Structure 1
């Protein structure tokens, strides 16, 4: 699943023009191309570069991650796409989040790119299920905002999937995934008495 998502991301990058690559993504202050740089860095950044940026950032992981994404995004888009294909089968398994975290990173960041560009999400139901289970399973460190309210029930309208007890947040699997990761872009696609709580994240 991860390898295929990397290849699909490479195909997406190859289809974008310069204006689309410079478009602000849903991921903080990153452009579309910087999001791609982040995904490439996860599998292709030299260890020496990663360690250097970690030191320069004062060992603040999120800051180092942003610096690394920016550094990788300085490369031509075609090179980034080629690196995603070259490293599609990279077996690296990050601590804590493991393979479900990598798959979720690709799917969420894919939407960080596609939604601002008005492109269809083209997400696969079986992969969405893996990511939803991961996001509510207690291992999604760095994915789920710490201030996401507890005691909510999430239900998807296009998958037989639900989790939790309490005020309801209901919508497509993609919209629920984005809500769980703190993205506000899909809030209008959600329904239920728990949506106001999610909206405040």
Structure 2
């Protein structure tokens, strides 16, 4: 799934004109071109960069991503897409987190590009399922979700996926995944008693200081890693 998504992303970016590439994405402060640059930053020596970010930046992954992306964004889009294809089989993962956060990242950034450009796509359900499960169960520190999903029951009406307990937030799987990842654009398609609370948390997420960031990293290290899940046995039934 990762290889397919990287190559599909390269094709998407190659088909955009200069105005589209300069369009602000859903990722605050990044253009569409910048998002493409970000997706290349961990394909080579990715774990070394992550460890360097933990040590040198006190696990401030937002800062790490900004710096790595700014450097990669100096390259023309044609070189970025060439790298996406050349290193599409990269096996870099977040330490002890497996491939789920990597696939989730590219699925979300696909939305970051397509939504503001008005480019539709039916995202394969197996990709959405991985993103839903990862965000609901144990998001990696880089997502900075913290406890924003606590006390909520998330229900995808089109797939039957359910996660959590508490006030209900329901809607289609795509909108849920967007909202769960902190993208406010997904909120308008959702309903339920828990929606006001989720909206409040997404639009004004709590700040994360150095101590909170380091605690999140320690939790990933000490908790058991997720099972090894491959596309051939991925299920759409969580």
Number of residue pairs the alignment of both structures matches: 201
Q: Quick one: structure 1 residues 81 and 146, their matched pair in 2 at CA, closer, same or farther if it must change by over 3 Å?
A: same
The offset of 1:64, in angstroms, is: 2.1
Of the structure 1 ranges 82-91 and 135-144, higher mean CA displacement relative to structure 2 is found in 135-144
Q: SS where residue 43 of structure 2 aligns?
A: helix
CA contact (8 A) 1:53 1:67 kept: no
Give the deviation of 1:73 after TM superposition: 1.1
TM-score (norm 1): 0.90
Which residue is equivalent to 1:5?
A: 5
Aligned ranges 1:36-51 → 2 under 5 Å: 36-44=36-44
Gap runs ≥5 in structure 1: none
Q: Does 1:89 align with 2:89?
A: yes
| Aligned: 1:177 with 2:177 | yes
Change in CA separation of 1:18 and 1:164 when aligned onto 2, cut-off 3 Å: same
Tell whether the 8 Å contact from 1:168 to 1:192 is kept in structure 2 after alignment: yes
| Residue 117 of structure 1: aligned partner | 117
Partner of 1:76: 76
Deviation at 1:70, TM superposition (A): 1.3
TM-aligned CA deviation for residue 92 of structure 1: 1.8
Q: Quick one: distance in 2 between partners of 1:30 and 1:185?
A: 16
In the alignment, what sits opposite 2:158? Answer: 158
Q: Provide the rounded CA distance (Å) in 1 between the counterparts of 2:188 and 2:138.
A: 26
Q: Extract unaligned runs of 5+ from structure 2.
A: 202-238
Give the RMSD, CA atoms, in angstroms: 2.4
1:50 and 1:186 mapped to 2: Cα distance?
Answer: 29
User: With structure 2 as the length reference, what TM-score do the two structures score?
Assistant: 0.77
The match for 1:197 is: 197
1:145 & 1:22 partners in 2: Cα distance?
28
Q: More deviation in 164-173 or 57-66?
A: 57-66
> Residues 50 and 94 of structure 2 are in contact (CA less than 8 Å); yes or no, is this contact kept in structure 1?
no
